[in-house]
Structure 1
Amino acid sequence: MTNSVNRRVRASQKRQRLMAAAARVLHEQGVERTTLADIAREAEVPVGNVYYYFKTKDELVLAALAEHSAHLDELVGELDRLADPRERLKALVEGWIDQRGTAARHGCPTGTLAVELDKRADGTLDAEAGAVLRRLLDWAAGQFRELGLPDPDDLALTLVSAYQGMSLLANALREPDVMTREGGRLLRWLDSLGVRDAGR
């Protein structure tokens, strides 16, 4: 009984390592340049093991998207511990600024994957990447709604669009400072929202 449980635990851990490795390698190399062997090497498992858990590269892409989704859940869980919705939004932006080096090298993990998947002929996985971004938009809109601001969905779109744009430019220009400057602008924008209305 114990051996069986241990085997299941080890199998689960190996699958999790492969999912995390898929998310990292696909972000760094892109879908087309990544092989199953690359992911196996990153996860430190024999390449034959990859096929046991994931039969195709598309299954690994889905696993990477599940990792992005889980990371978003974890991030939102941490942000939701903050009492004030404006502080939650600002902490989100500060997190983006902290990731400026990664953004300059590889762009936004989910955004770059969504763009790449959209260009594939079969076009079946891009909606999955879009769903992760939709969840971020919905969460941000909830924060703006809690602040009592008008058009919370539009404000969320502005915020997430700004992040995607600054990630793209930081990556294209290889300049992490783009994230710092534009992130600072977003923080000032968040501070300014609703201030004029409150003073009336």
Structure 2
Amino acid sequence: MASLVRRAASRLVGSCSKSRFSINPFPDQSLAAHGRLRHLTPSISRSNLFSTSARKKASSTDPLLRVIETEIGFAEQADDYDRVEETPSGDKGDDEESEEEEEEEEEEEHEDKPEKPKQSNVPLLVTLSKKTGPSLEFRCTAFPDKIVIKDMWVTFPDDPSKDELAYEGPSFRVLDEKLRKAFHRYIEIRGITPSMINFLHEYMINKDSKEHLLWLKTLKNFVKS
């Protein structure tokens, strides 16, 4: 009986000794330490990175955008923006035109007189040709209300070598007055009139303004994107 008691006691002591080494007296310490380390680790949000980058981009493009938008405003308020062109409706009569030509010639002859404010004008080189043969070329100046022929000559498009030998004729100024008027009438019948030149001039200005405005808006969209 005593031996049985000793064996039971020894088994109990052995079991307790084994259990002693498998028990952790502080089961929460390792978890707590891990939690503290994770809490101390710095973290950066991706959304913060993107928002910072967006702010930097916006701050660098804002001045340029403001300038472009200002230029767009000026272009839209310009007088020649979105202007509707009107086709030529007619020109002045021959008598009135001849009087203006004479006034122009008098101004050129009397250079000692005080200069008048210069009108806007467009230099023109008008070529009138047929299917074959020589052509007529007129060097003109187009004013808002008249066209003045400065000079004229005959050319040979089919045979340029003749241009070097051909007699160009006298200066247009020394031609008879009736002949000068006839040449003015000649080019007028063929569409070289002040109203047509003004129409083309206005069309070119309007076209340039629209293209400039479109270019500014394209720049704005590029900078904003």
For the aligned pair, the TM-score class normalised by the smaller chain equals: under 0.3
TM-score with structure 2 setting the length = 0.21
> Which structure has the highest strand share of the two?
2
TM-score, with length taken from structure 1: 0.23
| Bigger proportion of residues as helix | 1
